Structure 1
Amino acid sequence: MTASTAAPTQRPQVTEAFAKRTAIAALVGTAMEWYDFFLFTTASAIVFNVQYFQTEDLALATIYSFGTMAVGFVARPIGGIVFGHIGDRIGRKKVLMITIIGIGLVTGLIGLLPNANTIGVWAPIMLIILRIGQGLCVGGEWGGAATAAAEAAPPESRSFWAALPQIGSPIGTLLSSGGFFILGLTVSTEAFDAWGWRVPFVLAIPLLGLAVYVRNTLEESPVFKAAVEGEDVAKEVPIVQLFKNSWREVIVGFMCNLLGLAAFFLVTTYVVSYGVNNLGMSKNQMLAATLVGAAVEIFTILWVGTWAKKIGANRITVISGIATVLVAFPVWLMVNTGNVWLVILAVVIGMQALSMAYGVNASVLTALFKPEYRTSGVSISCNLSAVISGFVPMIATALTAAFSGSWVPAAIMLMIIGAITAVGGMLAPRFNVMDDGYKA
């Protein structure tokens, strides 16, 4: 019996308690993963352009730095293919254990990497290699976590429990930006540039032990167990099945996921760089804006996870996209004032508009794909949008330089990203394949 002819696997009964345990275990590991990944994005804006790229042109050095950041996103689809295959063939839990160990070790090594003054051209080369390692691991992480959390939850509360691991993103932002913020307050600029920036990276290694311990308590997805018992796992290579049967769903998933990633890096990573390099604001002022935005984002994600139970995750995706389009120009007008309070308000507003879609991404994407290739489908959709997202700060920096420091291109970029996700949210209900009657 092949996967295409097998009887559909019946969704096993799950409890709220089981859903809670799974979601929390996924959350702890996801927070660790995003902490590691966002350390790099923050450092790209304020550290790597100086430490690893030796040029007197600050804009060019920043573009090089953001380009290195983008390399990690290019690697993510490859990680999505590899770990999606493992998740659909061997199990969701194994993916989550492998990815968390990999990214923790790589992040620690970045903290120990000599800079360009010490080893010359080998410094950026090694930085790029380590960033690729980060990208490969994160490429499998989110798809596995989203699938595990969604499959472990009862239909009526899936949107909430699937949203819980999404909080790992703002927690990761708080930990990474917060680490740099505290160091900026406690050590001199010279000490920060010499060694201070390395501390948050090296701390990833002891944090890895905690994350592995918690992740090890995660039980295998009941949907995957039922598929194995019913011999309904993929007989073909999952990625082949995915593009043979669900290539349209991959495109829709890409569109729905784009806002939560691309706009996030525009409103956080690029805004930090713009504020420091174009407006003359301090690193800590810009990091404070990101910290406040991330703290509020936690409550936004919890709220939309609950709200989605009433109106559906797809509708929230549409609302989020439209909201982002509407606030794009007001947000950038406030940022461009250079007033620290208006900048903080702008970042908070921008982050909450995009975070509504991000909060329900797991519900939306997991509903698009059948269990036998669900991890692959979610991972590929997410990571294709991540490739675009990774280049957003670099593109925004280049456009700002090309238009004499103007913020208008960045505002237009934000509007376009929001519109794409709004259309994706409108299309998604046509492809819902969850077998329990719940419509995302």
Structure 2
Amino acid sequence: MNTPRHAAAGPPPGTSVVVTGKDAARVAFAAFVGTALEWYDYFLFGTAAAIVFNRLYFTTLDATAATMAAFATFGVGFVARPFGALIFGWLGDRIGRRPALLITVVMIGVATGCIGLLPTFAAVGVWAPALLVLLRLLQGIAVGGEWGGAVTLAVEHAPPEKRGRYAAMPQIGSPVGTLLSSGAFALALLVPEQQFDSWGWRLPFLAAFPLLAIAFYIRRKVEESPLFDQLLKQDERAKIPALEVLRTGWRRLLVAIASALLGIGGFYILTTFVISYGTSQLGMSPGLMVNATLAAAAVEIVVILVMGRVAERIGPGRVTLWGGLLGAVCAFPLFWLIDTRNPAVIVLAVTAGIGVVSIAYAVSGALLTELFPARLRYSGVALAYNLAGALTGFLPFIATGLLKTSGGASWPVALLLAGLSLITALGGFLGERLRVKDNVVTG
């Protein structure tokens, strides 16, 4: 198998940064804990948008319009994410990866906890959805700076030959966040419906406060990236990193965005949209649909761990390519299975679907960090990932609209998922040929 040509990046030629294996796992674990909290907070909103916010915050609209309004609010967080990438990308590439990540974890934890304290439309009228949108914007800005920094920090502490596995650690934060958020809502749904609407749905959001304390304690013990320390000593930092990415690395940015689309957008089609589709269109219970995401999250963890190792052998771009092609092949069969209305088959379809889209997602950290040099890495990775998020964040909204125009038929949504998969496959194909290599040695 041909090896891609790598361009050197990071510190100037002739200098190398020594990274050791002993701290890599600890740093990757701290990155994982932070991203798990961030995705727990972020995914709570998606589940609540499907089964709670449409009824309690958009009560003046009919059922379909209320669901679309709730999904539009959900999508606002994705629009905000590129702004978070700009803000925290600058901070991470100029001041340091560590301080940026401490701010993001506090920011999203506080915003999420405050959602649990938010009054409903019945209590304060239009202020309720307005405040909900504001808190979602804050969530989006924080997440916009979190993931790019977490994978950057994990990769820059890792030996080059083991970057695939350590870059996968922050990725595990996504299914763990899904397990925690879906599990929290599954428990909340056990209370009677009236109590759930009154206070039960708030408990998962309020849990963000104690989880924040744990994540902050673990993350503050992490040292700064050795590559960034080297850039700082040699004053090799970019003055406006995002501008330089757009000016000199826009081709890499487009490839990175394409490679990340399926892992983000496909996930939300198969979770946020499918939860709503299953409950409102197919008449399935919310508990069943939430439990399907729980099973899927457990499988996703295994897929991420395995694909991280595979990426070290064949390259993350090739893994992304094959994951995208498999996603395109599976798109229609997955929705055919969901449409059977058979509870066991639905759980199987959602689990298999999340497993497929997780192939590309598993190696996004490894691929995106190797598409940008160290001096632009935080900004480049954050911009690419969050622009992909902004482009796909409204997919549950779009899918709901397609469902309405097709008379309830799921084939347009399956076609949307297949198209997304093919774009990601192209991103993986091109990305493997554009990877760069840092001047690092292991100690």
Q: Deviations over 1:114-163 (max 9, x none)?
A: 00000001100010011000000000000100111111111111000110
Runs of 5+ unmatched residues, structure 2: 1-8
Question: Which amino acid in structure 2 is aligned with residue 97 of structure 1?
Answer: L
**Which of 24, 30, 33 matches 1:19?**
24
Q: Does 1:209 align with 2:213?
A: yes
- In the other structure, the counterpart of 1:330 is 333
Aligned to 2:432, the other structure's residue is in SS state: helix
- Cα gap change, 1:11 to 1:52, in 2 (>3 Å): farther
Match of 1:233 among 237, 247, 251: 237
1:374 and 1:435 map into 2 onto residues whose CA distance is 11
Greater relative CO (CA pairs within 8 A, separation 6+) = 2
- Residue 402 of structure 1 deviates from its aligned partner by 0.9
Matches within 5 A, 1:88-103: 88-103=93-108
Q: What is the RMSD computed on CA atoms of the aligned residues? A: 1.5
Give the 3-state SS of the residue equivalent to 1:47 in structure 2: helix
Write the letter of the residue equivalent to 1:163.
A
Q: Deviations along 1:228-271, whole A, 9 cap, x unmatched?
A: 1122111x311121111101011001001111100000011100
Q: Give the secondary-structure state (helix, strand or coil) at the position aligned to 1:112.
A: coil
**How far did 1:10 drift?**
3.9
Indicate whether 1:192 and 2:196 are aligned.
yes
Aligned partner of 2:360 in structure 1 is 357
Residue 252 of structure 2: aligned partner: 249
Unaligned runs of 5+ in 1: none
Task: Report the 3-state secondary structure (helix = DSSP H, G, I; strand = E; otherwise coil) of the residue aligned with 2:438.
Answer: coil
Output the TM-score relative to the length of structure 1.
Answer: 0.96
Tell me how far apart the structure 2 counterparts of residues 116 and 5 of structure 1 sit (CA, whole Å).
Answer: 52
Given that 2:71 and 2:394 are in contact with CA atoms closer than 8 Å, whether structure 1 keeps it comes out as: yes
Give, in whole Å, the separation in 1 of the partners of 2:195 and 2:305. Answer: 39
**C-alpha distance in structure 1 between counterparts of 2:352 and 2:343, whole Å:** 14
Is 1:318 matched with 2:321?
yes
Change in 2 beyond 3 A, CA 1:278/1:11? farther
Kept in 2, the 8 Å contact 1:9–1:226? The answer is: no
Q: Percent identity?
A: 48
Cα pair distance change 1:393/1:138, threshold 3 Å? same
- Residues matched between the structures, number: 433
Q: Distance in 2 between matches of 1:404 and 1:55?
A: 23
Residue 435 of structure 1: how far off its partner (Å): 2.9
Report what 2:223 is aligned to: 219
Call closer, same or farther: CA 1:11–1:158 in 2, change over 3 Å: farther
2:176 pairs with 1:177: no
**For the Cα contact (< 8 Å) 2:50–2:275, is it kept in 1?**
yes
The one-letter code matched in structure 2 to 1:23 is: A
Note if 1:45 corresponds to 2:50.
yes
Of 429, 435, 438, 2:438 maps to 435
Answer yes or no: is the 8 Å Cα contact 1:8–1:232 preserved in 2: no
Contact 1:184 1:192 in 2 (8 A): yes
1:288 maps to which residue?
A: 291
Provide Cα deviations, 1:148-183, integer angstroms capped at 9, x if missing partner: 111111111100011011000000000001101011
CA distance in 2, matches of 1:70, 1:8: 43
